[in-house]
Amino acid sequence: MLIRRKRGWELPEAAATPEAVFVQRRALVQAMGLGALLAPLAIDAAQAAEDKATADPSAGLYPFKRNPRYTLDRPITDPKYAENYNNFYEFGSEKDIAEQAQALKIRPWTVKIDGMVEKPFEIGIDDLLKKMPLEERLYRHRCVEAWSMAVPWSGFAMAALVALAKPLGSAKYVRTQTFLDSAVAPGQQQFWYPWPYIEGVTMAEATNELAFMVTGMYGKPVPKQDGAPLRLALPWKYGFKSAKSIVRLSFIEQRPATFWETVQGDEYGFWANVNPAVPHPRWSQATERVLGSDERVPTLIWNGYGEYVAHLYDGMTGEKLFM
C-alpha cells in the first residue's frame, strides 16, 4: 500500500510538527530541569506556544460555504489518499513527498501579478483571501497517469483573480509559476528539469467558471503537499495543468512554454483536455483508477465537464486538444 508510516493527516493538525521542533522542545524541557513526571505538562505548554506562532493565519476562515452547483458522480476521496499520494516534482518524483513538502514555508507568501495588466502588483496571500469571493466546490481530478480523485476544494474563481488583475485586451494567456527554492525543494536540484514549474491557460480558460484557485481542501487550508497556499484546479484537464504553490501569474501574449511540454512535448501538450478516446503514447486513457478503491471506472471526455468547457475549443481542429 501507499501509506507506510504515520503521517500528518493521522494527527490533529496542531500535533503535526517538524522533527526540529520536537528536538527544540526536548531541549527546552531539559533546560527547565523538570522531572519525567512534569515533562508532559511542559510539552503541552511549549506546544501551545508553538501552535500560536506557526498557526496558519487563514485557518479560521474555513470551512467555506459549499457552492451546490458542482456535484459529483462518486464519493469524495478519503483525504488520507489525496494528502499522501501526490505529484509534486519539486519534492521528488515519487508519490510519497508529503513529509518532504512540510519544509515549504507558506508565510509570508506573496503572489506577483504582472505582464499585460493595467498595473503590475504583488499581494500577500492573506490579503488576497480577503478580496476574493470564497467558496467550496466538489470537483473530480484526473491525472494523466490514469488515477483520479474527488475533492472538496476551497478557494475562489480564477475569473475573480483575473478581474482583480485588470488585464489589457492584448493579453491572451495566463502563465502560472510555482515557487523556486532548491534549498527546500530538493527536486529543484535536478537540473534536467526546466524549473520553475510553469503552466498556463488561455484567457478564455482562465475566466471559464470552472477554473478555480485553490487555497483549501476538505474544509481546511490546503496541505503543503497539495500545493499550499495557492494552487489551481482545472477539472476538465489532466492534473499537470493545475500548478501548485503559485507565486506569480503573468498575463502574456504568446503561449507559454510549459514544464511538461518542455520535458516531453510529444506526451504532455499545452491543452491536455481529458479524453478517454485519445491514448497517451504509452498507455490507454479509457479508464481511471479511483484513489482509495480497487475500482477502475470509465474516463469521461472533458472529465465530465463538457457542458461547461467544450465550446471553448470550437473550430480548433488543427490543435492537439487532448494530449
Binding-residue pattern over the window 70 to 89 for Mo ion, x denoting contact by CB under 5 A: -----------------x--
Q: Which is nearer to Mo ion, 87 or 207 (CB)?
A: 87
Q: Which of helix, strand or coil describes residue 81?
A: helix
Residue 188 corresponds to which cell in the numbers above?
A: 529543484
Binders of ligand MTE in range 157-196 (CB under 6 A): 178
Binding-residue pattern over the window 240 to 269 for ligand MTE, x denoting contact by CB under 6 A: x-xxxx------------------------
- Of the candidate spans 16-24, 64-72, 120-128, 239-247, the one that interacts with ligand MTE by CB under 6 A turns out to be 239-247
Distance CA 226, CA 223 (A): 5
Binders of Mo ion in range 8-47 (CB under 5 A): none
Distance CA 111, CA 128 (A): 9
Binders of ligand MTE in range 49-88 (CB under 6 A): 82, 86-88
**Cβ(173)–Cβ(256) below 8 Å:** yes
DSSP annotation of 319 reads S
**Cβ(3)–Cβ(87) below 8 Å:** no
| Residue 274 Cβ vs ligand MTE, minimum distance, rounded to whole Å | 12
| Residue 45 Cβ vs Mo ion, minimum distance, rounded to whole Å | 43
Binding-residue pattern over the window 83 to 122 for ligand MTE, x denoting contact by CB under 6 A: ---xxxxx--------------------------------
Strands (E), the chain: 110-115, 121-124, 135-142, 147-157, 173-178, 198-202, 212-217, 220-221, 231-233, 246-252, 287-290, 296-298
* Chosen from ligand MTE, Mo ion, none, partner binding at 226 (C-beta under 5 to 8 Å by type): ligand MTE
- Of the candidate spans 47-55, 233-241, 245-253, 294-302, the one that interacts with Mo ion by CB under 5 A turns out to be 233-241
Q: Which is nearer to ligand MTE, 128 or 233 (CB)?
A: 233
Q: Which of helix, strand or coil describes residue 248?
A: strand
Binding-residue pattern over the window 127 to 156 for ligand MTE, x denoting contact by CB under 6 A: ----------------x-------------
239 near Mo ion (CB under 5 A):
yes
Binding-residue pattern over the window 109 to 148 for Mo ion, x denoting contact by CB under 5 A: ----------------------------------xx----
Helix residue ranges per DSSP H, 147-202: 158-165
| CA R_g for the chain | 21
Distance CA 257, CA 204 (A): 18
Find the helix packing angle between 19-31 and 39-54, rounded to 10°: 130
Residue carrying the nine cell digits 478555480: 212
Distance CA 164, CA 130 (A): 12
Binding interface with ligand MTE (CB under 6 A) = 82, 86-90, 143, 178, 197, 226, 239-240, 242-245
Binding interface with Mo ion (CB under 5 A) = 87, 143-144, 239-240
